[in-house]
Chains A and B, each alone.
Chain A
Amino acid sequence: MTWTLLLEQSLNGFQLGIVLFLMAAGLTLVFGIMDMVNLAHGSLYMIGALLCATFTEWTGSFLLGVLLALPAVLVVGILVEVVALRTLYKRDHLDQVLASFGLILFFNELARIVWGPEGMAIPLPAWLDGSIEILPGVPYPTYRLMVIVVGLAVAAALYWLVVKTRTGMLIRAGASNRTMVGALGVNIGLLFTLIFGFGAALAGLAGMIAAPIVQANIGMGESILIPAFVVIVVGGIGSIRGAFIAALIVGLIDTMGRSFLDVLLGTFMSANAAETAAPALSAMAIYILMAVVLFFRPQGLFPPQGRG
């Protein structure tokens, strides 16, 4: 284990954390404010990635692809909310889970029809394809650095939106007492639709920036959805700050576990045993983390205050 490798892997973990945060931010908002479990959030991640791939192919520019795909996912999200999910806010969680599970099946199949079973790869433009020396002699892929920068910028913008603006105030008020906000004359239905669309756009963005690394494919939403759930549960449902911190923790633990656990285990067990145990343990690490957190803090690390 060298320090450069450690640095690289921490950056990778950080970058995974950023993608998870973009997913989790929308989920936790929808969850916290509308009390709605939306499994189809992963589908929006996938749709974002695939739309971006198509637009990139049409325009020949990744940047344009993202700029076109973002409003498209926003529209898809709003459509989903208006057509299917709106009726589910008053239902219990089981209904929401099942109906959004139905949405996943629908979107996966739709994507398979439109984009084919293999999905699409997004080629990176030349200016993002290289690497930068972050320390003398330590190159790191430019694109991954970009992801971190963009993610932090979005996180900052989100913080500003939620804490400093009137919309954000309504969002926070809606999270703590939506009946009261409604009684004060705010159009709760419209607010919910907007938040949902906004969350969809964030999930789509996460899909878009992940796509050049993992390729846009069917089922990519399901593999990120559960870690995103882990993030919001660890962070405390409804808390953006919690989601941010938990996303970084989860991203780091997952990446570090995969790269260094065998070395770590090797220090106190035989190399052979370590090699067998490490992949299993590192694959389970974030779930063990979640179980431990929930065991001691059943409401997550940062439970939102003032929920009646």
Chain B
Amino acid sequence: MVLNRRIIVTVLVLIALALLPVLLGGAPFYIGVVARAMILAIAAISLNLILGYGNMFSFGHAVYIGIGAYTVGIFAHYDIFNGFIQWPVGLAVSALIALLFGAISLRTKGVYFIMITMALAQMMYFLGLSLDEYGADDGLVIYTRSEFAGLIDLEDHVTLYYVVFGFLLLTVLGMARLINSRFGLVIRATKFNEARMRALGFPVGRYKLTAFVLAGTICGLAGLLLGNFTNFVNPDMMHWTRSGELIFMVVLGGMGSVFGPIFGAITFLLLEEFLSDLTEHWQIVFGPFLILVVLFARGGIDGLLGRKDRSDD
């Protein structure tokens, strides 16, 4: 590994994230912004697996955030706060839904795939809207965060921050390993030439579906964290515009780069905070900015850090 600009920046960002609560002396607001950015970064990393490496343009990824968050919310609604029950169930439901949605949408290609993932996500959004028992469009307030038998206290915001940070590290390291594993190589090769991979005898469909399910499950994890973090869940978390924002985070950070989505998510949230401080109508700047990024900065932030080493490409 050569000590290039990308690695230096990445390490600096990670150190900054690790030290942030200490540096800010526990200032809850900014810790909150960054914790949220890290949660969305986990979701963006999971999306990057199928979007950046697998070439599957899912436009409904936010649905799994909703599923994770709703799991926490619905269990809390019935006074079950045990995280050892909530979290495995949340991950399992995310995986199952991803399996179902993946099986349906992977039958299609290109534009149809974008549309059907979007429509399936929108279906879940409307399902959330129509569930009166769980607050319909108001959603559920999560009064008590997940409890882990007294081992970790998520009610403490610094602890929660470090839990999120820990999961982010785990996700990003896991992703780095995964994409360089045999599985990752097959997925990436499929992006470039699916027909050839098929001809080589790889069950491409199964590989793609596995990646889809894995991405959904990891995103479900982000949802579990987000539900705990915001103490709140509503159908809006699953709206297709949320999925659009996730895609933008991935593209902004750099598609098909391991750390890119982290840069993307953090930049996205900081920009949102900064612009919305500046003017109430921040989206009038943000929209054109998005278009400019798409038009002129395809590599995203990761691309600005220099060309990739062929060896880790």
Contact = CB atoms under 8 A, between A and B. Distances in A.
Given A98-B248, A102-B287, 18 more contacts: A39-B244, A84-B291, A93-B57, A98-B251, A98-B294, A102-B291, A107-B287, A226-B119, A280-B126, A283-B127, A287-B119, A287-B123, A290-B119, A291-B119, A291-B120, A294-B107, A294-B116, A298-B108
B27 interface: no
A218 to B, nearest CB: 11
Given A226-B118, A230-B119, A283-B129, A294 B57 contact: no
Nearest to B290: A102
Contact of B123 (A101, A102, A288, A295): A288
A108 B284 CA distance: 8
Interface string B85-123: 000000000000000000011011111101110111011
A284 B290 contact: no
B268 to A, nearest CB: 13
A108 B283 contact: yes
Contacts of A300: 112
A295 B112 CA distance: 11
Interface string A204-235: 00000000000000000010001001101100
B192 to A, nearest CB: 14
B8 interface: no
B284 A113 contact: yes
B253 to A, nearest CB: 13
B64 interface: no
Interface of A: 31, 35, 37, 39, 84, 87-88, 91, 93-95, 97-99, 101-110, 112-113, 222, 226, 229-230, 232-233, 237, 276, 279-280, 283-284, 287-288, 290-291, 294-295, 298-300
A260 B288 CA distance: 44
Nearest to B248: A98
A20 B120 CA distance: 19
B175 interface: no
The 10 closest A-B CB pairs, nearest first, are: A106-B287, A102-B290, A105-B287, A287-B123, A283-B126, A109-B283, A102-B291, A109-B284, A279-B130, A280-B130
* Interface core residue of A84, A103, A290 (most chain B CB under 10 Å): A290
20 contacts: A37-B111, A94-B51, A94-B251, A99-B290, A99-B291, A101-B290, A102-B287, A102-B288, A102-B290, A103-B291, A106-B283, A109-B282, A113-B284, A222-B240, A226-B119, A230-B119, A283-B127, A284-B127, A291-B119, A300-B112
B182 interface: no
User: Is chain A's binding surface mostly helix, strand, loop or mixed?
Assistant: helix
B84 interface: no
B281 A229 contact: no
B131 interface: yes
B120 A298 contact: no
Interface in B146-189: none
Contacts of B288: 102, 106
Nearest to A291: B104
B294 A102 contact: yes
B123 to A, nearest CB: 4
A295 B281 CA distance: 42
Contacts of A222: 240-241
A178 to B, nearest CB: 16
Contacts of A113: 281, 284
B289 interface: yes
A300 B112 CA distance: 9
B129 to A, nearest CB: 7
A177 to B, nearest CB: 18
Contacts of B241: 101, 104, 222
Contacts of B120: 287, 291
A93 B284 contact: no
Nearest to B295: A87
Contact of B119 (A87, A91, A99, A233): A233
A31 B295 contact: no
Contacts of B112: 233, 237, 294, 298-300
Contacts of B284: 105-106, 109-110, 113
Contacts of B142: none
Contacts of A226: 118-119, 122, 240
Contact of A104 (B126, B282, B287): B287
Contacts of A110: 284
B59 interface: yes
B112 to A, nearest CB: 6
A295 B104 contact: yes
